[in-house]
Amino acid sequence: MAEQKRRNQILTTVSILLLLGFIYFAENYLDLYIVRILNVCAIYAILGMSMNLINGFTGLFSLGHAGFMAVGAYTTALLTMPPAVKQQIFYLTPLIKPLDQMNLAFPLALLVGGLLTALVGSMIAAPVLRLKGDYLAIATLGFAEIIRVVFTNTQSITNGALGLKGIPALTNLWWSFGTAAFTLVVLLSLINSSYGRALKAIREDETAAEAMGINLAKHKTLSFVTGAFFAGIGGGLLGNLLGTIDPKMFSFMFTFNILLIVVLGGMGSLTGSIISAFIVTFANEYLRFLDESINLGFFVLRGKVGMRSVVFSATLMFVVLFYRHGLMGSKEFSWDRLLASRVCQRMQGCFKKRLLKGGYDQ
Amino acid sequence: MTLDLFLQHLSNGISLGSLYALIAIGYTMVYGILRLINFAHGDIFMMATYFAFFGIVTFRIPWFITFPLVLVLTAGLGMGVETVAYRPLREAPKISLLISAIGASFFLENLTIVLFGGVPKPFPAPKLFTDVVQVGAVSIQKLTFYIPIVTVIALLGLMYLINKTKTGMAMRAVSMDHETARVMGININRTISFTFGLGSFLAAVGGIMWGMKFPQIQPLMGVIPGLKCFIAAVIGGIGNIGGAVIGGFILGIGEIMLVAFLPDLTGYRDAFAFVLLILILMSKPTGILGEKTAEKV
Amino acid sequence: MSLLKLTEVTMNFGGLTALKSFNLELAPGEIVGLSGPNGAGKTTVFNVITGVYEPSHGQIFFMEQEITGMRPDLITKAGIARTFQNIRLFKGLSVMENVLIAHHLHLKANYLAAMLKLPGYRREEREMRERSLALLERVGLADLRDEQAGALPYGMQRRLEIARALATNPKLLLLDEPAAGMNPKEAEDLTAFIKEIQTEFDLTIFLIEHHMDVVMNISELIYVLDYGMTIAGGKPAEVQNNQRVIEAYLGVNEDVED
Ligand SMILES: Nc1ncnc2c1ncn2[C@@H]1O[C@H](COP(=O)(O)OP(=O)(O)OP(=O)(O)O)[C@@H](O)[C@H]1O
Ligand SMILES: [Mg+2]
């Protein structure tokens, strides 16, 4: 038992070191395109985990994630853009004071973005969280749409439909992976705490949870606001990665993508969300050929715009219909399970055999 | 604002409201029977306009044959969506059903993009409907008058079907309680399927008229009307057909009047429905005609 | 002094009166039964006491404080715990977690302290675990603490639900048909168990039981409902011979036969 624990600790430490090494390598030597995809993976992991907290762990079917991301993205962008750039972009309607002169360090701007999103989340929570199931879904979706419409119409803050351009590219792998790791650690700790158990109780049975003395409004709000906070930070990272944002970007489609990640990874599994964030993001890139025509030299393979989304929505339906628990169900990643898995057993078997053949004692 | 102008806005509001009502009924019926937001309903409505487009433009079938065909095809599509995306999930948690609904919706939208392209197409509205008549100082499309009339006819038919026929009775029984209905010997699956067909049929009626009123069709055209009509259904009291009609009119007329009287808020037009939704959910969550029920514990 | 007092409590659902002018007084330390045929309004009594429904009329007092229409979690906090007729465990969670959750209402550490695992929170968590384990040992489920609650056999689920209710540290325990679906032997064991925990945890118990013999056995006082009306109340022996009670039950039997 203790030995197993030690082994797991060693494995975890080694993996973290490997990851750090990989990030260093990627930042310095990998192709920019790949680095960008990796950044998107980590950001989607953050967004997926935050949505999972609300939907998977608390059982609140919230579809407002795109709205949260928008608040975070705009806040962080506006706080990090140099005043000169802002002046240039806001040529139709000038940016209001004091935003036009403000300029914060990236981490601070992210934090403000997260907190502001949390604030918006808490304002939405009061009316919305009294609703259940579909009503909650449609009301949160409505709020996200309202946020989008408001952002399109408040030119003097958001530059309206034109969006923001020239956002400094401050997001790098250290920030995105670092934030993702931080999100994972905090949320894992949360769901394993007494509060996390209360959230799961609400998911399992609201009436029983309330009969056990759990204040539903309070706990749902905590979950919702925490989810909003991390979604806002994720949005901020994304804006400063892409360099441009506009209200159209934060439509329901975006929420849908995050939902796909959550469902595929397993509702109620944070590590599942991370794994599926990587799968979905890479699939999104490598399935691009579906949308574009590729010239094979002798033959042009005709792609069709939208094909990728067809594949994605079909995947979502397929997962829900036949594979409802997703990759991880409601379990978290663990070394014990990984090592006990069949593939791993076989690999270990091969490994040992080879060692013995080589004449070593195990 | 002159009286003429006001009347023009009002008639516009009424015809928009009629369209909303027709689509809202589909949401309310499905919700009544499955307790599910059929996210794909707006897309089924969109598909109807494409069916009409292909009938008239591609296959050159006259409109009076195309339109009935469209109604049947769309009803079939609705039933198909139910069979594939919802039926296997009868016993699954609610959240799976909702996700499947969202998946079905996106699937239909993107499939349309792939098959028919994302570029808007002109809807082939027969001249008979789009002619303009002169009423006092304002000119109004004939369509504006036809839409409410068609809506009323469709509603009367629906009322008859629900209240006077055996199938209608089965629908009402199933929406009360699946178990009891089963015990009474009602075929649940067939009844649910029929409900989807009926809702989609009405959405197609709305879709054809929508296409004539706003003669540009594109794959995502169902999204916003879909959401708005679900909201109309909630405002009226979900599960209640009369409520869906009332909600549709409130939304349609309200939207037109908002833009007419407060032109500054035009940009917020699409948010109007959501604001209204949130207000109603805060004050009377069961909607205007909905009854208060306590969940049995 | 009465622990719980209901005066003229009425509950209407639309046109249906599920409970009419119901009066009740429970003294500390009593075991009182509530009986009556199907649909008589028994569970409704529990639901209005625990705040699941707000009564249409009437008042409810717990330890001299009015709790009518109060939020269910606050009522539980005040000291009323319950079980449900159709067992409502947190099925997907472990046995241990089910009991731990019921301790949550006494947690003093705030959200951030718990998220950051501050020392104060850690101590409380440890204590919660110890207490939960002790409770599970008491009800004989300690060995199954890591099992999924929904996977337990029926009888054990009932016990777990009682353990979970006890974890909220109640003064008054409401049991909704705890012996439902049990054979006579199991029902007898359960009766003994209820009596034991009553003294051990210093509880007042109000229980619904459909089967007259079980209530008779355990309760000092019995109330009988029929169509929302109180048709009898008193010592088991008196109630047993009450003409209206007999009729009400015979009525049920006729229903069952056809
Ligand atoms: N939330 C509700 N909405 C509508 N009617 C309800 C509700 N809850 C209970 N009722 C009705 O109130 C009446 C009493 O129900 P209750 O559950 O209290 O009966 P009971 O005595 O517990 O019966 P059983 O022995 O079957 O448990 C029944 O007719 C029931 O249908
Ligand atoms: Mg009962």
Identify the pLDDT of residue B283: 84
Both C162 and C214 in a single domain?
no
Residue nearest to atom 18 of ligand 1 (CA): C41
Both A210 and A353 in a single domain?
no
Confidence of residue A266 (pLDDT cuts 50, 70, 90): very high
Both C160 and C147 in a single domain?
yes
- How many domains does chain C fold into? 2
Ligand nearest to the CA of C225: 1
- The predicted-structure confidence for A217-243, as pLDDT tens digits, reads as follows 999 999 999 999 999 999 999 999 999
Domains in chain B: boundaries: 3-283
Across A39-53, B117-131, C85-99, C133-147, least confident range: B117-131
Residue nearest to atom 25 of ligand 1 (CA): C38
Which of C151, C167, C183 is the last residue before a domain boundary? C167
Across A2-11, B131-140, C226-235, C247-256, least confident range: C247-256
A198 within domain boundaries:
yes
Both C2 and C73 in a single domain?
yes
Percentage of chain A with pLDDT > 90? Answer: 57
- A107: helix, strand or coil: helix
CA distance C118 to B130: 71
Both C257 and C133 in a single domain?
no
- How many domains does chain A fold into? 2
Both C133 and C52 in a single domain?
no
> Which residues are A85's β-sheet partners?
none
Contact: A135, B285; criterion CB under 8 Å: yes
- The predicted-structure confidence for C93-120, as pLDDT tens digits, reads as follows 999 999 999 999 999 999 999 999 999 9
Identify the pLDDT of residue C244: 82
Chain A residues in contact with C116 (beta carbon < 8 A): 189
Query: For the domain with range B3-283, which CATH number is right: 3.30.70, 1.25.40, 1.10.150, 1.10.3470?
Result: 1.10.3470
Q: Tell me the CA–centroid distance for residue C28 and ligand 2, in Å.
A: 24
In short, whether C85's Cβ falls inside 6 Å of ligand 1 is yes
C84 within domain boundaries:
no
Do residues B187 and B198 touch, judged by C-beta distance below 8 A?
A: no
A161 within domain boundaries:
yes
Identify the pLDDT of residue A79: 96
Identify the pLDDT of residue C239: 81
Closest residue in chain C to residue A194, using alpha carbons only: C104
Q: Residues for chain C: how many in total?
A: 258
Both A183 and A214 in a single domain?
yes
Identify the pLDDT of residue C255: 44
Q: Tell me the CA–centroid distance for residue C77 and ligand 1, in Å.
A: 26
A12 within domain boundaries:
no
Across A175-179, B51-55, B261-265, B291-295, least confident range: B291-295
Q: Identify the burial level of B170 via C-beta atoms within 10 angstroms of its C-beta, where 0-12 means exposed, 13-18 middle and 19 or more buried.
A: buried
Range of the domain at C67: 1-79+170-258
Confidence of residue A303 (pLDDT cuts 50, 70, 90): low
A17 within domain boundaries:
no
Phi then psi for C251, rounded to 5 degrees? -55, -45
CA distance B143 to B15: 8
- From the list C235, C223, C219, the residue with the least C-alpha distance to C29 is C219
Both A51 and A112 in a single domain?
yes
Do residues B119 and B221 touch, judged by C-beta distance below 8 A?
A: no
CA distance B53 to B219: 13
- The predicted-structure confidence for C58-72, as pLDDT tens digits, reads as follows 999 999 999 999 999
What would the 3-class secondary structure string for A209-252 be?
Answer: HHHCCCCHHHHHHHHHHHHHHHHHHHHHHHHHHHCCECHHHHCH
Both C93 and C105 in a single domain?
yes
- The predicted-structure confidence for C117-155, as pLDDT tens digits, reads as follows 999 999 999 999 999 999 999 999 999 999 999 999 988
Both A271 and A340 in a single domain?
no
CA distance A20 to A33: 19
DSSP-assigned letters across all residues of C173-214: EEEESTTTT--HHHHHHHHHHHHHHHHHTT-EEEEE-SSHHH
Which of C167, C192, C215 is the last residue before a domain boundary? C167
Average pLDDT over residues C231-251: 79
Both C51 and C117 in a single domain?
no
Phi then psi for A131, rounded to 5 degrees? -90, 160
In short, whether C178's Cβ falls inside 6 Å of ligand 1 is no
A120 within domain boundaries:
yes
A72 within domain boundaries:
yes
The amino acid sitting at B144 is T
- From the list A218, A217, A126, A210, the residue with the least C-alpha distance to C74 is A210
Q: Return mean pLDDT, chain B.
A: 90
Which of C167, C193, C213 is the last residue before a domain boundary? C167
Q: Residues for chain A: how many in total?
A: 362
| Chain centroid offset of residue A231 CA | 7
Indicate whether A294 pLDDT > 80.
no
- The predicted-structure confidence for B255-289, as pLDDT tens digits, reads as follows 999 888 888 888 888 788 888 888 888 888 788 88
Q: Return mean pLDDT, chain A.
A: 89
Identify the pLDDT of residue C254: 44
Both A283 and A340 in a single domain?
no
Cα–Cα distances (Å) from B252 to B9, B12, B214, B276, in that order, read 11, 8, 14, 12
- Tell me, yes or no, if B291 comes closer than 8 A to chain C by beta carbon: yes
Do residues B70 and B209 touch, judged by C-beta distance below 8 A?
A: no
Q: Return mean pLDDT, chain C.
A: 91
A2 within domain boundaries:
no
Both C48 and C102 in a single domain?
no
Beta-carbon contacts of residue B95 (< 8 Å; ≥ 6 apart): A55, A59, A61, A267
Closest residue in chain B to residue A303, using alpha carbons only: B114
CA distance A282 to A287: 8
Chain C residues in contact with A212 (beta carbon < 8 A): 73, 76, 101-102, 104-105, 164, 168
**Does the bond joining A98 to the residue before it have cis omega, within 30 degrees of 0?**
yes
- Tell me, yes or no, if A212 comes closer than 8 A to chain C by beta carbon: yes
C237 against B76, higher pLDDT: B76
Average pLDDT over residues A17-27: 90
In short, whether C41's Cβ falls inside 6 Å of ligand 1 is yes
- A45: helix, strand or coil: helix
Both C5 and C50 in a single domain?
yes
Long-range contacts, A341-346 (Cβ 8 Å, 24+): none
Quote the crossing angle between the two packed helices B3-34 and B241-261, to the nearest 10°. Answer: 150
Both C181 and C227 in a single domain?
yes
Chain C window 40-59: which residues touch A at a Cβ cutoff of 8 Å? 50, 52
Taken in order A197, A200, A202, A208, is the CA torsion positive or negative? negative
In short, whether C18's Cβ falls inside 6 Å of ligand 1 is yes
Quote the crossing angle between the two packed helices B41-53 and B63-81, to the nearest 10°. Answer: 150
Identify the pLDDT of residue A143: 92
Q: Are strands C172-176 and C80-82 parallel, antiparallel or unpaired?
A: parallel
Q: Report how many Cβ contacts below 8 Å link chain B to chain C.
A: 9
The amino acid sitting at B290 is G
Average pLDDT over residues C36-43: 91
A278 within domain boundaries:
yes
CA distance C245 to C87: 28
Phi then psi for C73, rounded to 5 degrees? -65, -30
Percentage of chain C with pLDDT > 70? Answer: 96
Both A233 and A349 in a single domain?
no
Do residues A238 and A300 touch, judged by C-beta distance below 8 A?
A: no
Do residues A43 and A238 touch, judged by C-beta distance below 8 A?
A: yes
Q: Identify the burial level of A360 via C-beta atoms within 10 angstroms of its C-beta, where 0-12 means exposed, 13-18 middle and 19 or more buried.
A: exposed
C183 within domain boundaries:
yes
Both A339 and A276 in a single domain?
no
Q: Are strands C31-35 and C16-26 parallel, antiparallel or unpaired?
A: unpaired
Beta-carbon contacts of residue A68 (< 8 Å; ≥ 6 apart): A50, A117, A120, A121, A144, A227, A228, A231, A232, A235
Contact: A207, C168; criterion CB under 8 Å: no
Average pLDDT over residues A154-171: 91
Confidence of residue C251 (pLDDT cuts 50, 70, 90): low
Both A120 and A81 in a single domain?
yes
Both C65 and C98 in a single domain?
no
Ligand nearest to the CA of C38: 1
CA distance A319 to A325: 8
Identify the pLDDT of residue A295: 64
Indicate whether C253 pLDDT > 60.
no
CATH of the domain at C185: 3.40.50.300
Range of the domain at A115: 30-289+302-331
- The predicted-structure confidence for A309-362, as pLDDT tens digits, reads as follows 888 889 888 988 988 888 888 888 888 888 887 777 777 777 666 666 654 444
Q: Residues for chain B: how many in total?
A: 297
Identify the pLDDT of residue A361: 45
B69 against C246, higher pLDDT: B69
Angle at A248 between CA A243 and CA A250, to 5 degrees: 75
Chain C residues in contact with A269 (beta carbon < 8 A): none
- From the list B150, B211, B158, B197, the residue with the least C-alpha distance to B41 is B197
- B83: helix, strand or coil: helix
Do residues C78 and C148 touch, judged by C-beta distance below 8 A?
A: no
Percentage of chain B with pLDDT > 90? Answer: 58
Q: Tell me the CA–centroid distance for residue C227 and ligand 1, in Å.
A: 10
CA distance C109 to B126: 70
Q: Which residue has the tokens 């909702």?
A: B98
Indicate whether B40 pLDDT > 90.
yes
- The predicted-structure confidence for B163-217, as pLDDT tens digits, reads as follows 999 999 999 999 888 888 999 899 999 999 999 999 999 999 999 999 999 989 9
Both C137 and C250 in a single domain?
no
- From the list A74, A277, A27, A278, the residue with the least C-alpha distance to A172 is A27
Do residues C182 and C155 touch, judged by C-beta distance below 8 A?
A: yes
Identify the pLDDT of residue A98: 82
Long-range contacts, B155-160 (Cβ 8 Å, 24+): B155/B21, B155/B245, B158/B25, B158/B198, B158/B202, B158/B241, B159/B241
